[in-house]
Structure 1
Amino acid sequence: MRSRSIMVLGLTLVAIASQCLFVNSAFGQALQLRVVTQDGTAMRAGDMPRFYRVAELNAGTVVEVIGESNGWAKVVYPKGIDAYVEADRVEKVNDKTLRLTRESALLAPSELLGASGSWCALFESPLPVGTELELKEEIAGIGGKVSKYLVTTPRKPQVSAQARGFVLSTSLRDATEAEAARYLASTGAPMPRPVDQPVDTPVTPIPGNQAERPVTQPQVPAPSPTPQTSVDPVDTSLLSPINTDPLPPVVRQPETAQPSDQTNAPLGTNAQPTEPATQQEMIALTINQLNASFDQLRAMPRDKMDAGLEEMLAECRRSAAALSNEPSLVAGINQRIAWLELRIKLRDQRLELERALADADKRQAELATRVKAWQDQRSYTLIGRLLPSTLYDGNRLPLMYRIEAIEGPGLQRTVGYIVPGATDDLKRHTGAVVGVIGSTRFDQALGVRIVTPSRVDFLETP
């Protein structure tokens, strides 16, 4: 009887343990939500800084992470950001609807260059023929012919794929429970919960002679085997180039691409991260498109223009390389390249100077705080920075050292002079912050005190 009870108890504990593991696995399927940590965080079209910026995210924005690549978080495309589709891949159903006639992964929009600079695929896999898209705007190309359409980004369950952008992982933190709950409530998604658990049936003692009855072990529901996740490989092959108008942009020749054995490797192997699949090779802008984008950049506020200088420089270099057989056009592009390089250099110098001034302001404020503390601790006649005097150098006029106030950068206010004694060696301490105690007299012509020191404390060395 006792051995049977121990056996039943052990089996019950095994069942409970398996149920607990099953609940944990259910919770493990929860969304991975993270939060943007600072304003102006860039979401790019790919997992490298060279990919163009799609949008800027504000601090506190909650994003759903669906993968990691090269130090970048792959996030679900935020609502409110549209996409482009090539005109030769769709047909008009009506004034508000387009239908794909050829597969398309759509194009992530360039925040800086708009339709002309948008070339990177928005979906990892193309959307199938027949997918309907909501039309928002027609984009005219060369000769006024429509080259692209601006459409509302399709989302699940309308399409099975997931549009994605890329954000630096270091710019994100884990979402709190409250932030996750608000996000899920705004999207209408249910909170993750465990699956239904099997109901335990109490064991009823069997009457009669227990020794003559076999012990019936309760049926313990076996935990469901964990399904193996099948991962569709990402097709990184390039599709055929798009047919263009009589004045097409020059197609950039792809760099020698080496076939990779890991292109279709499943997740969990040592496959290297790949760039997002593209519908077409990146193309060089035409001269008209380049001029329009350049003028648009110059008209932006300084902070926006500074952020887009490298992108514009890259497009100018791409166009110059594509038009190498047109020296007159290349000469004009090179002028813009020189202007952009100069702006980048000036921007970097300005930012470096601003950082240096900010550091100097911080150090000056800290020093002023310490000077006040020194003054409170001891009654100094003068406190300031010991500096040589230009005029009172001991040649034609007596030797005196100037004491400059500790106030702020760019301010050089003399608060007094000290007359060194015969044994005082102050020259090697110039630049130090000193506290001076001694007898004073006020000089009417200079308008400051002249101190004959009895004591000089060196409070901070240069």
Structure 2
Amino acid sequence: MHTAATNRWNAIFTRSGAFAGLCAVMAVLFGGAPAAQAQTTDIEPHHVVVTTDTASIRCGGGEIWYPVGEAERGDILIADGESFGWLRVKYPEGIRALVSVDDAEFVAGRGVVRLTRPSRLAAYNPNADVRDSWRRLLPDALPAATEFQHHATLHDGRGEIAGFLVSAPEKARAYINEQFVRRATDDEVRAFRNRDAVQEETPQNQVAAAPESRPRPAPETTTQPRESTPDTGAEPQAEPERVERETERETERETDRDRERAAERPAPRQEEERDPVVIEMEQPDRTQPSRPVGPSPTRTTAPEQADEPETFERGVASFDQLDRAFKQVVREPVMNAELQPLLAEHKRLLETLGDSEEERIVADAVQARIELLQIRVDLQKDLQRLAALEERATRGVTEIRQAVTMLEARRQYAAVGRLSTSSIYNGERMPLMYRLQSADTSSPRTIAYIVPTEGVDLSGKLGELVGVEGATQLDPALRLNIIRPRHVDALRVESATVAAPVPDEE
């Protein structure tokens, strides 16, 4: 008796409890991210500095939410909310918002995207298909006729326009793990505000400024050799924009070489043509038409020789170095930790150890560390797979929610949901009624009961998403609608688009 009961409970756990157990594990691993998203607490706005080389900025407060961009070490963000170890931050410069083509139009003459109806926009996922950017960006819809600077036009798999990338609005928010940031110092905040003050005028002038900034490089590169001929000292003052652009693109050492080249160009003597060999990085492009062919191989081979020492060959790390790295990595979230590279470095060290007693001791320690890291690497892969599954499940719920809204608007259904049997109203102890559950949430709930009606097939649609037409009556005890159906449609949902209703076979 006891064994049979135990086996029965094991079977129940294996079949029915597996998914619940998986959800519980995911809730622990991901910190209840969906719930956390809804429980973001407003905090006093303050500046934070990114302390890791790269940190993902996500559309929600948790690892399961897809990234909308990355922040680099030293970047400063403005945080105004917190949620279970995640900070809500203002959208950084350079991260774009997505506007669906159904909600907007592109005004080519002005380079702007104009909303044709109210829209909350979408958080753009740069690592996936356009349709995977399903997360709404704003809490409230912006009105029609709102305009944004246009940055790119996105197409779907069929080559049709799917949406537009635009500058993110002021109220756009994202999330970053608080382990990857620290509070900014007063000096850092002042420097950030000074830079931000210069850029604040850009959103209003971006549309007009964008066309001006693009043609500038072409005339400057063509006129630069002529202006450098008469006077070397006047070159930086005559064209400050060119020098500024070269400073961003080149080092100060290369700028000095430009001055040397300008001093040497007026002299036609063959002797002076040897000196410009110093100008290794730029001469092939700008002087090749007017220079003899002879010096060119010298200039082209010099960068190749200079590039050879840059082939990076790292030495094998010691166990102490790897131990310090290990202690740092294990403090990071498993999803983002650099476990695989650390595992590879341990394997490299193990290959170099010899057979001496001291090295065997180190080898044993390294081998134990490798086995531990391998476990964490496998766990990381499992977590990433779970995150992908959770993301797809969440996306599926969103698509169903959109489909239900479309169906209810298209046809006057009394209710739309998934049809199932009732454990209570099964026709034995209580009257027979079918249960209609919500299909647009991850936690289904009963939304109505359906009374069997002659001529309407209900049993043949069990487990399906259905739309029910009929007379409704609110039951005061259940606080639910009791529906006497006149017609029940079986519905199909495919990627947030609803197929035509499947008629009853009567």
Higher helix proportion (structure 1 or 2): 2
Higher relative contact order (CA 8 A, sep 6+): 1
TM range (shorter): 0.3 to 0.5
Q: Which protein shows a greater Rg?
A: 1
Scaled by the length of structure 1, the TM-score of the pair is 0.41
Scaled by the length of structure 2, the TM-score of the pair is 0.38
